[in-house]
Amino acid sequence: MTILFALLLTGCATLSAPTPNQSFQLTGKIAIQAQNHVQTANLLWINQGEQYKAILSDPFGLPQFVLIGTPTTLVIEGPDGKQTTPSRSKRIFIDQIVSFIQAFPKTTLENARLPKKLQLSLSGVTIKLVVYSWHPLPSILPHPA
Protein backbone atom coordinates (compact mmCIF):
# COMPACT_ATOMS: atom_id res chain seq x y z
CA MET A 1 0.00 0.00 0.00
CA THR A 2 1.37 3.37 -0.98
CA ILE A 3 0.79 6.21 1.40
CA LEU A 4 0.87 9.66 -0.10
CA PHE A 5 2.29 12.08 2.40
CA ALA A 6 2.63 15.78 1.66
CA LEU A 7 3.83 18.27 4.18
CA LEU A 8 3.68 21.99 3.60
CA LEU A 9 5.02 24.55 6.01
CA THR A 10 3.85 28.10 5.66
CA GLY A 11 4.82 31.04 7.79
CA CYS A 12 7.20 31.18 10.71
CA ALA A 13 7.28 33.19 13.89
CA THR A 14 10.29 34.15 15.94
CA LEU A 15 9.71 32.34 19.21
CA SER A 16 12.10 31.09 21.85
CA ALA A 17 12.87 27.43 21.32
CA PRO A 18 11.79 25.04 24.08
CA THR A 19 14.47 23.30 26.11
CA PRO A 20 16.35 20.38 24.54
CA ASN A 21 14.74 17.90 26.97
CA GLN A 22 11.54 18.23 24.96
CA SER A 23 9.35 19.49 27.77
CA PHE A 24 7.14 22.08 26.12
CA GLN A 25 3.60 23.32 25.73
CA LEU A 26 2.04 24.28 22.43
CA THR A 27 -1.24 26.15 22.04
CA GLY A 28 -3.09 26.65 18.80
CA LYS A 29 -6.05 25.78 16.64
CA ILE A 30 -6.51 22.68 14.51
CA ALA A 31 -8.86 21.97 11.58
CA ILE A 32 -9.47 18.50 10.17
CA GLN A 33 -11.06 18.15 6.73
CA ALA A 34 -12.23 14.84 5.29
CA GLN A 35 -14.24 14.90 2.06
CA ASN A 36 -16.70 17.81 2.52
CA HIS A 37 -16.67 17.86 6.33
CA VAL A 38 -14.50 20.20 8.43
CA GLN A 39 -14.06 20.00 12.21
CA THR A 40 -12.13 22.62 14.21
CA ALA A 41 -10.84 22.64 17.78
CA ASN A 42 -8.56 24.55 20.10
CA LEU A 43 -5.39 22.62 20.86
CA LEU A 44 -3.32 22.42 24.03
CA TRP A 45 -0.31 20.11 23.60
CA ILE A 46 1.81 19.20 26.63
CA ASN A 47 4.98 17.27 25.88
CA GLN A 48 7.57 15.69 28.16
CA GLY A 49 10.23 13.64 26.43
CA GLU A 50 8.44 10.98 24.43
CA GLN A 51 5.16 11.38 26.35
CA TYR A 52 2.48 13.78 25.23
CA LYS A 53 -1.04 14.85 26.03
CA ALA A 54 -3.10 16.73 23.44
CA ILE A 55 -6.36 18.32 24.57
CA LEU A 56 -8.81 19.27 21.81
CA SER A 57 -11.50 21.61 23.08
CA ASP A 58 -14.56 23.34 21.67
CA PRO A 59 -14.87 27.15 21.24
CA PHE A 60 -16.00 27.41 24.87
CA GLY A 61 -12.87 25.65 26.12
CA LEU A 62 -14.62 22.41 27.06
CA PRO A 63 -12.43 19.36 26.32
CA GLN A 64 -13.87 17.17 23.57
CA PHE A 65 -11.03 14.71 23.06
CA VAL A 66 -7.77 14.02 24.85
CA LEU A 67 -4.94 12.09 23.19
CA ILE A 68 -2.44 10.53 25.58
CA GLY A 69 0.56 8.90 23.98
CA THR A 70 4.05 7.46 24.07
CA PRO A 71 6.04 5.91 21.21
CA THR A 72 4.27 2.57 21.81
CA THR A 73 0.81 3.50 23.13
CA LEU A 74 -1.97 5.89 22.22
CA VAL A 75 -5.27 6.34 24.01
CA ILE A 76 -8.05 8.68 22.91
CA GLU A 77 -10.45 9.82 25.59
CA GLY A 78 -13.83 11.19 24.49
CA PRO A 79 -15.97 13.85 26.20
CA ASP A 80 -17.78 11.06 28.08
CA GLY A 81 -14.49 9.82 29.56
CA LYS A 82 -14.54 6.63 27.50
CA GLN A 83 -11.06 5.61 26.35
CA THR A 84 -10.35 3.95 23.01
CA THR A 85 -7.30 2.83 21.09
CA PRO A 86 -7.26 3.99 17.44
CA SER A 87 -7.01 1.59 14.51
CA ARG A 88 -3.62 1.03 12.89
CA SER A 89 -4.42 3.36 9.97
CA LYS A 90 -5.54 6.17 12.29
CA ARG A 91 -2.48 5.59 14.48
CA ILE A 92 -0.16 6.00 11.47
CA PHE A 93 -1.79 9.34 10.66
CA ILE A 94 -1.68 10.56 14.27
CA ASP A 95 1.96 9.45 14.56
CA GLN A 96 2.85 11.70 11.61
CA ILE A 97 1.38 14.71 13.41
CA VAL A 98 3.09 13.77 16.68
CA SER A 99 6.45 13.38 14.92
CA PHE A 100 6.10 16.77 13.30
CA ILE A 101 5.19 18.58 16.51
CA GLN A 102 7.91 16.85 18.55
CA ALA A 103 10.63 17.39 15.93
CA PHE A 104 10.65 21.16 15.77
CA PRO A 105 11.51 22.14 19.35
CA LYS A 106 14.67 19.98 19.29
CA THR A 107 16.71 22.95 18.16
CA THR A 108 18.94 24.56 20.75
CA LEU A 109 19.45 27.75 18.78
CA GLU A 110 18.45 30.92 20.56
CA ASN A 111 15.61 32.81 18.89
CA ALA A 112 14.97 29.84 16.62
CA ARG A 113 12.21 30.31 14.09
CA LEU A 114 9.60 27.70 14.87
CA PRO A 115 6.67 27.00 12.53
CA LYS A 116 3.46 28.90 13.03
CA LYS A 117 1.34 27.14 10.40
CA LEU A 118 1.29 23.57 9.17
CA GLN A 119 -0.77 21.68 6.63
CA LEU A 120 -0.61 17.89 6.43
CA SER A 121 -2.47 15.75 3.88
CA LEU A 122 -2.71 11.98 3.90
CA SER A 123 -5.19 9.65 2.18
CA GLY A 124 -7.85 12.31 1.54
CA VAL A 125 -7.66 13.89 5.00
CA THR A 126 -6.16 17.34 5.51
CA ILE A 127 -5.11 18.74 8.86
CA LYS A 128 -4.28 22.41 9.31
CA LEU A 129 -2.57 23.60 12.47
CA VAL A 130 -2.05 27.21 13.52
CA VAL A 131 0.39 27.53 16.42
CA TYR A 132 -0.23 30.42 18.79
CA SER A 133 2.69 29.66 21.13
CA TRP A 134 5.48 27.21 22.01
CA HIS A 135 6.72 27.39 25.62
CA PRO A 136 9.38 25.35 27.42
CA LEU A 137 8.12 23.56 30.53
CA PRO A 138 9.67 21.89 33.56
CA SER A 139 9.10 18.15 33.85
CA ILE A 140 5.41 17.96 34.79
CA LEU A 141 4.00 14.69 33.45
CA PRO A 142 4.30 11.64 35.71
CA HIS A 143 6.57 8.92 34.36
CA PRO A 144 4.86 5.61 33.57
CA ALA A 145 5.33 2.90 36.20
Give the 3-state secondary structure percentages of the chain, helix then strand then coil, rounded to 5.
15, 50, 35
Q: For 102-131, how does the pLDDT look when each residue is reduced to its tens digit (9 = 90+)? A: 776 655 455 566 678 888 887 888 889 998
Residues 6+ apart with CB under 8 A from 96: 5, 120, 122
Q: For 41-97, how does the pLDDT look when each residue is reduced to its tens digit (9 = 90+)? A: 999 999 988 899 999 999 888 889 999 998 889 999 999 999 999 888 788 878 878
List domains and CATH numbers for the chain: 20-112+126-136 (2.50.20.10)
pTM of the model: 0.73
| Band of residue 9 on the pLDDT scale cut at 50, 70, 90 | very low
